[in-house]
Amino acid sequence: MERPIGVTILAFVAIVLAFLNAIVMLRFLGFLPFLGVVEGRIFSLWSALLYGLLAYIWVWLAQMLWQVDKQAWIFLAVITIFNLCIDFVVLVTGGSWYDVNFSVLLNVLILVYIMLPGVKEAFGTD
């Protein structure tokens, strides 16, 4: 199956989100204390595991998008909504907009883009 340019862009955006989640994972392990609003080291093994798993899922999803897998479209929608829920929880529990702004913007753009009829047609879900 031929890969449309929009699906290629989605795959690259998935790689960017995997990279962002990996950075957040390293922050929760205390390796990158200079990134973000909070000064000093923060250690949270549970949060590091969660964001590490999300980074792995985004890489896996990028591979599915690159191959234009039919199931990648619905999986992308589910993971995007899940990421938005996590970002909302971060905001509600005392995080700042600075911590999640790039992730929220990319996830909202992905969600809007994948709902377009041409993208659905490219994955054969229409």
Share of the chain above pLDDT 90, in %: 33
Q: Identity (one letter) of the amino acid at 112?
A: V
Q: What angle do CA 49, 53, 56 make, to 5 degrees?
A: 140
Q: Identity (one letter) of the amino acid at 63?
A: Q
Per residue in 47-91, pLDDT tens? 889 889 999 999 999 999 998 888 988 999 999 999 899 888 888
Is-contact 76 114, C-beta < 8 A? yes
Q: Identity (one letter) of the amino acid at 72?
A: A
The residue ranges of every structural domain in the chain are 5-123
